[in-house]
Structure 1
Amino acid sequence: MFSAGSVVLYTGNGKFTISIDDTLDYVENQAKYTSDNLKNVSNYLDTAKTVAVNSVFLPSEIQQAIDSIDKMIKSASTTLNDATSNNSKRIQTAVDNIGLSLIIIAAIMLLLAFLGFVFSIFGCSCCVYSLVIFGWIMVTVTFVLCGVFLILHVAVGDTCVAMNEWAQHPAYKTALDDILPCLDNTTAQETKRVAEAVTSQLATVVNSVIANVTNIDFPPEAAPLYFNQSGPLMPYLCNPYNGADLTERKCEDGEVEMSIATEEWKKYVCEVSASGICITTGRLTPAIYSQMTSAIDVTYGLYRYSPFLLSLGDCSFVRDTFTGIHKNNCPGLRLYTRWVYIGLVLVSVALMLSLIFWIIYARERRHRIYTKKMPAAF
């Protein structure tokens, strides 16, 4: 029984530690993924302030909104990383301490079992009784640990159930925020609004240059607007949002989608002279095309992060994380805490039975020795 209990205890503890590590890594990776995406959005917004197409920049109010939201994004990212990291460290430290305690106790019990067997064989009664006293202390400690792991087993199960219930019905400000907090709803909504506004405004800037510069055949005296534009007219960029309320809109005929705009506009680039005048047919100089490409990179980058920003608003990234933990990690955590608990019970019972056996054996051996020393009756 002692051997079986030790195997169950050691295996369960090892697998429980691995499961905890995997769970914590998963949570930290999710937090890092969210934080990195927030930083990417912040970088795109910072770049948008410097983007200019033919000397046309974003409106000043949009640039002020970017400065304001940038501070909120950095604060939210730091809070998310710190909360997740600190919680993971606390759990990891507790699990490491429990695991070390289990290993030490299992080693001591194995040593006690071996010494008790040796002392019993060689008839060292005093040693056996001393060992019994220490053994009962270890049995008590082990039973206490059984209770601790039973509580841990119940706590793991309750946490898993709470995660599943939270994923089904998200709530604000719960104990689960220590594991992976939701982003502040105000920050999430404002970030999404500013990102959509910047996307729409950059598309407007690009289209205004197309409408007022590249698609007009200016006379030479209209410099600097004139650079000998000629040939077919350029298609406009598809603005994914309505300018008034930032609701989504569909592309109209004659508009080019952001994902293929740079390739499409490359057809309208002309070769230029040393003075920057087109010497071949085209609507774009390489310099203006490069500026439009930079604007498209920022616009399309922010647009692609729109679903991510939406997930921040309704906290679906936390919901997905908790659902993943409940589905993939919770079954193992529940199973292996049960293994450790069963292993501790088996080891405790085995040592307790050994102690009883040592006492009986030692008393019987002493009784035989005493009987042999008595004089024979006539």
Structure 2
Amino acid sequence: MMYRPKKLKQFYIIPALFLMLSTLFSVSHGRQNENVDLQSDGIMRLVKRKMEETESRNSSIILAKEETERPDPLNKFKDYKGGWDITSKHYLASVGYSSAPFALMAIVWFMLFGIFLLCACICCCCCHRNKPYGYSRLAYACSLIFLILFTIAAVAGCALMFTGEGKFLASVNDVSHYIVTQGLSIYDNIIGIQNFLISAKNVVLNNKFVPDDLKGEVDKANKLIDSVGSLPRIKSQDITDEIRKLLKQIIVSDTCIAMDEWIQDPMADSAMGEVLPCFDMAFGEEIKEAGKGVTTNVNDLLNQFITVLANNNTANNQSGPLVPLICDPYKHGDSQESCGDEVPLKNATE
């Protein structure tokens, strides 16, 4: 007659608990990621709307200040208080230090669990080889069935978790791509304006130069551009790579909180300015006035040249209609209907 104990040995309790907890965590985490994905679909539209609605402010904010207070190994393990800033080595060091204990615990756990299973297999195969079975066939069958069910549940939970995480990271990558693309676009436009102002300042037409006061405005605008538009293109591309790498690690939480705070006040001075430079209304007005002055002055020089020389000098215009004047876009607009007989500036080269 086979011996049947009244309760299972403690040897089987730890693996069973491990499988159950893994299953529950995987399923719940997958559902949370799916919910987050649904909530993050409108992030890009929210960023655009906030940037259009927010007025000029001179305030400064520290993104995710409370969530990023961690010991900084580069600063004698003092709490890091600089907030979310992926360009700061102190922020990255604090994140790495805070994640190290959990990674070490995971490694130790899997090592101990592997050693435990190895010892268990050795004991079952070698030490108790000649001893009779201590359980009935029903107990072994139930153990096998539950093991299979828990394994299937764990696999399904992991599949849900990775699927939800993939959708979430895809939406976050879309937002980061939009932010960096806007940053590069702003920088390219600023550089284009600066090159235009520099070229216009040196215009010489019929021995007539741009007035000195206008040159002073151009120099002032260029200095302003140099002071606030200090985001090199290569730096922005490097930050893009860092974002895509770091968002997939534990910085996801910090980044989500930081972006949520930033979109509430995108014009404030913050670490997000390293990726997406924001300029206030005063800066825009300065550049606009400088561009308006240069455009109007060069336009007047061209029209004066056309009126005095091109249309009155028969050597230059022996036959055909007179050369039309250039329409000033700041006075009459930039369409053919608003300019009348004059040529719009955008069609002047034709």
Which TM-score band (shorter chain)?
0.3 to 0.5
Using the size of structure 2 for normalisation, the TM-score is 0.46
**Whose helix proportion is higher, 1 or 2?**
1
Using the size of structure 1 for normalisation, the TM-score is 0.43
Question: Greater RCO between the two (CA within 8 Å, min separation 6)?
Answer: 1
